[in-house]
Amino acid sequence: MANSAATRRLLLWLPILLVLAAALAWLLRPLPVPVDLALVETGPIRVTVDEEGRARVREVFTVAAPTHGRLRRIEAEVGDPVTAGATVLARIEPAEPAFLDIRSVREAEAAALAAEAALTLVDAEIARVEAELELARAELARARTLARSNTVSQAVVERRESEARALEAALDEAEARRIMRQFQLATARARLIQPGDERRLTVAEDGCCVPVTSPVTGVVLALLEESETVVEPGRPLVEVGDPAHLEVVVDVLSRDAVRISRGARATIEGWGGPPLAATVRRVEPAGFTEVSALGVEEQRVNVILDPAPPLEGWQRLGHGYRVEARITVLEVEDATTVPLSALFRDGEHWAVFIAADGFARLRQLEIGARDRDRAVVTEGLEPGEVVLLYPSERVTDGTRIAERDGRR
């Protein structure tokens, strides 16, 4: 009887214990990890090199000072229209003389005194020649009178005429020397002029200044000198160009430059308007070193892009505007692609987690070309499979998963 009662109690409590165990197991079961899912698709993919660039006028002309002088303040402003050979961009007038140190002042004063003495000497010589000439003319007159009465011979008259002509020539020579000495004195005194001693000439502009005109028709792009200053020949003053002829220069890594071909399509974005079409005109053959924001030296190459139709949006760009360029290096029309956010490294291979019956399954794969969003799958995935995006450390092979927000 005792065994029978124990058996009945066991049969009564056993189902209850089984139910409690099942409930406890259900409560302690691991919850599925919420994940984001994406579909492996087939379609076109465009592989691009993406870099920042800047728009610029294709031909920028730097107008320089043609001569030494004082540059008047430039009245033109950036954006003003200019006409080739007609628009005056700057005017240059004679500059003030240079300062003289004490030695130069003494030398210039001595030169002026020497010029004054030379002029005095010439004046004395002129007075002497004039006196001799007066005497020679008087003697010539007496000789002619005596010759008429046959008192002196004709040879005497001719000698007196020759002496008079020689003295007249000597007088002309002395007067010419006097003029030369006067100019030498003026030159010596001019060397003594210091800045501010004399006001600059204020004659008409077309008589005192050298006008500097625009070499092309376009607009003023930059004022390299604006205020009044003394300039030397070749000093850059103004930059001008035609904004209707723009190009975009993009510096890319040299390893990307070798993948870019002349005539490749490009898209200009990030400038404040809709994407603009462009084509590669030139990949420059020489690179240059540039230090990145992280302090790493990089070899970069300039790639020049030309606008492509339609050209309406290009009219809103200007010289020096920042843009973002996407240069096409490869286009595949029918490719199996997977989002880059689903990829991670598994040893030496690329891998993804695929969603299969509520579980995550690890799958290694091979990828080919990629753009900034997707990569081409060459082996390991088929169109229509579902992959996990941004898999966390909680996800491993065999982890239970559920699509975030309950969409799957």
The per-residue pLDDT for range 313-369, each reduced to its tens digit, is 898 999 999 999 999 998 888 889 999 999 999 888 899 999 988 889 999 999 988
Q: What is the mean pLDDT of the chain?
A: 86
pLDDT at 201: 44
Q: How far apart are CA 111 and CA 136, in angstroms?
A: 37
Q: Are 246 and 317 a contacting pair, CB within 8 Å?
A: yes
Pairing of strands 401-403, 33-39: parallel
Whether the pLDDT of residue 230 is over 50: the answer is yes
Whether the pLDDT of residue 131 is over 70: the answer is yes
Range in 14-18, 274-278, 307-311 with the lowest mean pLDDT:
14-18
Q: How far apart are CA 223 and CA 107, in angstroms?
A: 42
Q: What is the pLDDT of residues 18-60, one digit of tens each?
A: 777 776 666 556 678 888 999 998 988 888 899 999 999 999 9
Please enumerate in sequence order all residues whose Cβ is within 8 A of that of 377, keeping only pairs 6 or more positions apart, or say none: 40, 335, 336, 337, 338, 365, 366, 367, 368
Give me the percent of the chain exceeding a pLDDT of 70.
Answer: 90
Closest CA to 35 of 375, 353, 383: 353
Q: How far apart are CA 107 and CA 11, in angstroms?
A: 135
Q: How many CB atoms lie within 10 A of CB 295?
A: 6
Amino acid at 242: D
Give mean pLDDT, residues 253-264: 93
**Band of pLDDT at residue 202, cut at 50, 70 and 90:** very low
Beta bridge partners of 38: 387
Q: Are 237 and 225 a contacting pair, CB within 8 Å?
A: yes
User: In the numeric block, which tokens belong to residue 73?
Assistant: 């303040």
Q: Is 268 exposed, middle or buried (0-12, 13-18, 19+ CB in 10 A)?
A: buried
Pairing of strands 359-370, 297-307: unpaired
Give mean pLDDT, residues 207-211: 75
pLDDT at 206: 45
Whether the pLDDT of residue 74 is over 60: the answer is yes
Q: Are 346 and 57 a contacting pair, CB within 8 Å?
A: no
Beta bridge partners of 251: 302
Residue carrying the six token digits 């973002």: 324
Give me the percent of the chain exceeding a pLDDT of 90.
Answer: 41
Q: What is the pLDDT of residues 236-250, one digit of tens each?
A: 999 999 998 999 999
pLDDT at 11: 66
